[in-house]
Amino acid sequence: MSEEVRSRDVELSDDEVIGAASVLLAQRGHAKAAALMLDVKNARIEEATVQEISDDETYAYQRTFREVILEVEPHLMHNSGYLLKDIKSAFETVGVGCGRSFDEVVIREVIPRVGPNWREQLARELNGESQTNHARKVRMEPRHPMEDGLHFTNEWEHRVYQVLKERQAQLPSNDTIGIMPLGALRVPGHTFEPDFLITYRGRVGVIEVDGPQHKSRVSADRSRDRLFKHAGVRDVDRLCVEDSTTKEEVEKFVTDFLKHLVD
């Protein structure tokens, strides 16, 4: 079967390409990247004809340059760089399947809509009346887990939170833990959102809840953990959901984490 016929058989509209890449991210277990795609306000594929020179500079030729543009609210930009590699990979895979190539995937800020009363809008922004980072949609689907006014990317994180909350209740009120899910943390050159930032006895630790996708990102995760520690985080520990299928295993992980945090 020719490439031309194969492309027609799986022909997708621009919107279907974007949707297929988004669902593929979820299927691969890239929950945060998939959640970011849900938060995209405007998505489009732009095409332009560009002229290029052959490697031996003997002739010029024209080709189609395709760019995927994803526009998100400004408060989501801080974590987009960390997720962009996974998003690009998904679009490349979908492109191969439908006979289209994508030269670039770009995440941009949505330009604010303003009117004659833009000064009042600016004053509200400066007074903190706009949407906060934690109020963003962190879900993979509309019915994302929530408890105590806190949002969780998936059920794995929600279950860990419930164990942490039980441990919090078991401790004396003057010697307990603080639990911050998905709080943005700025380190030199990066802004990350650890799954849980935990405070205990004057120490700060981070818990990351790793799904199956993290097996291919060990090096990147180590670099990120090192940046946390350089910024004063006492301990960074990772809970692999594949190895912690019962509540008892999660409880043991939390016990060991808190012990190491204050040792």
Q: If we measure between CA atoms, which residue out of 175, 174, 176, 154 comes closest to residue 164?
A: 176
6: three-class secondary structure by DSSP: helix
Element (H, E) at 23: helix 14-27
What is the dihedral angle through the alpha carbons of 206, 211, 216, 219, rounded to the nearest 10 degrees?
0
pLDDT of amino acid 139 = 42
Cα–Cα distance, 228 to 191 (Å, whole number): 10
Q: 180 and 241 in contact (C-beta within 8 Å)?
A: no
Per-residue burial over 50-68, b if 16 or more Cβ lie within 10 Å, else e, is eeeeeeeeeeeeeeeebeb
Q: What confidence tens digit (pLDDT) does each residue in 194-205 have?
A: 999 999 999 999
Q: What confidence tens digit (pLDDT) does each residue in 73-82 have?
A: 887 787 688 8
Q: Which CATH class is domain 3-126?
A: alpha beta
Would you give the DSSP letter of residue 167? H
Q: If we measure between CA atoms, which residue out of 237, 204, 244 comes closest to residue 221?
A: 237
Which parts of the chain have pLDDT scores under 50?
1-8, 131-142
SS3 content of the chain, % helix, strand, coil (to 5): 45, 25, 30
Cα–Cα distance, 245 to 223 (Å, whole number): 27
> What are the extents of the domains in the chain?
3-126, 146-262
Cα–Cα distance, 190 to 255 (Å, whole number): 30
pLDDT of amino acid 218 = 65
Specify the CATH number of the domain 146-262.
3.40.1350
pLDDT of amino acid 6 = 42
Strands 60-72 and 42-53: antiparallel
Burial class (CB in 10 A: 0-12, 13-18, 19+), 194: buried
